[in-house]
Structure 1
C-alpha cells in the first residue's frame, strides 16, 4: 500500500495549521511503516488530500478516472474561514455550499474532532468518515528548561509570560489577547505567529501588530525548536480563539505541560476539561481572572500541566499513524470489493 499525501501551495501553507498537519501525517506514517509519496506523478493506491483548492479538486477527478480512492481531510470549514483574512466573511457565505460539493466527492473523510464532523454533516455531506486527531509529537514537544531560558533571554523577559501561538487573525482572538494584556500590565504577553500575511489582514489587526501595548510582543514566526522554549517558559498558554477544528498549538502547549486557558467553545468538548487539564472562560474578565489565578497558584498550574501532558500523549503521532493506517486499509479493502 502506497499513499499520496497531497496539499497544494505547500510553501505558502507551511506555517499554517494545514502545513503542520501535513508534516504530522508524514511523520505519523513513517512511524506506522506506511509507504507514502508527495509526488502526484508517482504511483500510489490511495490519495489523502488536505486542501480544497483547484489543484485538490483536479486531483480528485483524476483519481476517480483512474479508479483510485480519495480520502479528504477536513481542515477547512465555512465557520473557520470567517474573521480571518480580508474578505473572508464574504467568502465564507459561499464556502458552505462549495465545501459541501468538494467533500461529497471523496470516498472517505477524516475529521480532526467530533465537532468538525458535526459541522460538515450539517452541510448535508453523507460520505463515510472517521475522527483522527492532527496529533502532536510528544517526544519533541516536551518541557525543556534550557530552551525556556534561551527564549526568555532572546526576548529579554524577566516576569510572568502569557503566550499564544497562532496566525494573527481576528478569529484567533487577537483583539481579546491584547485587551486582556492591557489589564495585566505586570505580565509579558507574547503572540508568536507569522506576520508575512500582514497584507491580507484587516486594518484594525495591522494596527495592533504595529502599535501593541508596552507589555505585548509580536515576534513573528519562530521555528519549532524555539517554540518548545516558548511553551516551556510560559506561565500560561492563553488561546482565546473563537473557532477551531482542533488547535494544533493547543496540543503542543499541552504536550509541554503548559497551563492552558482557552475559550469555552464546542470543539474542546470531551477532551479539554475545565479544572482538570485546562481552564476555560468566555469573557475577557474571566480570562483575566484565570490567567492571574494560574500565575499566582503555581501548584494548580503544575497539576493542570501534568494532566495536559496525559491528554497530549493520547494524540501522539504514533497513535495517529496507527489510526491512519487502519483507515487506509479499510478504505482500500472496501474499494477493491466494490
Structure 2
C-alpha cells in the first residue's frame, strides 16, 4: 500500500475551484482505491508520496525534508499570469509572491498540470518540462448530474424564475478575471433574459475590483441574481435550471465550473481562450468579446433549438472527463512515480 500525504489549505476558502478539485481527488482516491492507497491529510509523517495542492509557506519548508516526504508532487492550479485580475496586491508583494510560486514548483520532483498548454509556460519559467504531466480535472456524477425535467421546472419555480424565460448562469468567484464586467453589461442590455451568478467574494476585500463589484452585488439589475457562495448540493440545481452556462473569463487553467456544466448537460458559452483549444475545442459556443456574446444570446433567445447540439456536446464531454476515466490516470501516475 502506497502512503500518500496530501498537503492542502484549499478548502479553507469556500467557492474556489482549487478546493473543489482537491476534494474531488481525495474523495475519489479513498472511494476507489482503499486497499492501494493510504491517504493522510496535512500530516508530516513519513510517506512514499507527498502531494502538494497549495503553496503554503509551511508546506514549502517541509519539502527540504526529502527522506520523509518521498516523491514530492506539485499540483499546478495557477501561474503568476492567471492570478492577474483575481486578487489585488501591492506591486512589490505581487512580484515577491510570483517568484515564490515558481520557486515552490521548482522544489517539486514531479508536477501535474490540469491543462497541457501550461507545460510550455512552466518551461519558460525555467522548470524542467520532462517532470510535468497532464492529468485533467474531473467532477463526480454523484454531485453534478443532469436532473429530470420535472426537477428542473420545480427548481426554476423555487428560484422565482418563469418557466419560459432564458436563464443564463455564470459561476465562480466574483473578480475581474472572470469577466464580470461583461456579464453585468449583458444583464443590463437584456432585461428580458434572466442572469444568475453563483459565487461570491472568496477573498474578501483583496479581491481585484472589490468596491466596484460590491456596489453591483448589493444593488443588481432586476434580471441579475447573485447567489453568493453556495454549497455544491445547491449549485447543481442552478446548472440544471439554466438554459446556458456563460463563463466570460479572460484567464483560466481548466475551470471546474465548465466540467460541472458538462456533467449537468448544460450548453456552454465561453470567451474563446487559446488554452481551451487543446482540451474542449468544438464543444462550446465560442465568442471573442461581449459583442459576440450579445449576438449569440439574441439568436438563442429567438430560437432555443440552437442550444440542442451543445447539450449533446456537453453530455459527451461529461463522459470523457468522468471520474472513471481520470481515476485510472491517477492510479497509474502514483504507482509510476512512487519508485523515482
Q: Same fold (TM over 0.5)?
A: yes
Match of 1:53 in 2: 56
Written as runs of structure 1 = structure 2, the 5 A alignment for 1:199-278 is 199-201=205-207, 202-274=210-282, 277-278=283-284
Q: Does the aligned pair in 1 maintain the 2:49–2:69 contact within 8 Å?
A: no
Supply the distance in 2 between the matched residues of 1:197 and 1:101 (Cα, whole angstroms): 24
Supply the distance in 1 between the matched residues of 2:322 and 2:62 (Cα, whole angstroms): 29
CA positional deviation for 1:312? 2.0
Q: CA 1:326 to 1:214, structure 2 compared with 1: closer, same or farther past 3 Å?
A: same
Match of 1:310 in 2: 316
- Give CA-to-partner distance per residue, 1:28-54, whole Å, 9 cap, x none: 213441331114144431111111120
Q: CA 1:55 to 1:187, structure 2 compared with 1: closer, same or farther past 3 Å?
A: same
CA positional deviation for 1:252? 0.6
Written as runs of structure 1 = structure 2, the 5 A alignment for 1:73-222 is 73-87=75-89, 91-126=93-128, 128-144=131-147, 145-158=149-162, 159-195=165-201, 197-201=203-207, 202-222=210-230
Moved more, 46-55 or 147-156: 147-156
Match of 2:26 in 1: 26
Match of 1:16 in 2: 16
Supply the distance in 1 between the matched residues of 2:236 and 2:293 (Cα, whole angstroms): 24
Match of 2:3 in 1: 2
Between Structure 1 and Structure 2, how many residues are aligned?
Answer: 330
Supply the distance in 2 between the matched residues of 1:29 and 1:330 (Cα, whole angstroms): 16
Q: Does the aligned pair in 1 maintain the 2:46–2:68 contact within 8 Å?
A: no
Supply the distance in 2 between the matched residues of 1:9 and 1:307 (Cα, whole angstroms): 31
The answer for unaligned runs of 5 or more in structure 1 is: none
Q: Does the aligned pair in 2 maintain the 1:103–1:109 contact within 8 Å?
A: yes
Q: Does the aligned pair in 2 maintain the 1:5–1:48 contact within 8 Å?
A: yes
Moved more, 71-80 or 41-50: 41-50
The answer for unaligned runs of 5 or more in structure 2 is: none
Runs of 4+ aligned residues of structure 1 deviating over 6 Å after TM superposition are none
CA positional deviation for 1:67? 5.6
Moved more, 283-292 or 245-254: 283-292
Q: CA 1:150 to 1:11, structure 2 compared with 1: closer, same or farther past 3 Å?
A: farther
Q: Does the aligned pair in 1 maintain the 2:169–2:239 contact within 8 Å?
A: yes
With structure 1 as the length reference, what TM-score do the two structures score? Answer: 0.91
Task: Calculate the aligned-residue CA RMSD, in Å.
Answer: 2.0
Q: Does the aligned pair in 1 maintain the 2:46–2:70 contact within 8 Å?
A: no
- Give CA-to-partner distance per residue, 1:229-275, whole Å, 9 cap, x none: 1111111101001111101001110111111100011221123234x
CA positional deviation for 1:299? 2.7
CA positional deviation for 1:110? 0.2
With structure 2 as the length reference, what TM-score do the two structures score? Answer: 0.90
- Give CA-to-partner distance per residue, 1:66-111, whole Å, 9 cap, x none: 2611000001210111111232766544444322211111010000
CA positional deviation for 1:325? 1.5
Q: CA 1:143 to 1:292, structure 2 compared with 1: closer, same or farther past 3 Å?
A: farther
Supply the distance in 1 between the matched residues of 2:174 and 2:304 (Cα, whole angstroms): 29
Q: CA 1:29 to 1:199, structure 2 compared with 1: closer, same or farther past 3 Å?
A: same
Q: Does the aligned pair in 2 maintain the 1:110–1:129 contact within 8 Å?
A: yes
Q: Does the aligned pair in 2 maintain the 1:29–1:35 contact within 8 Å?
A: no
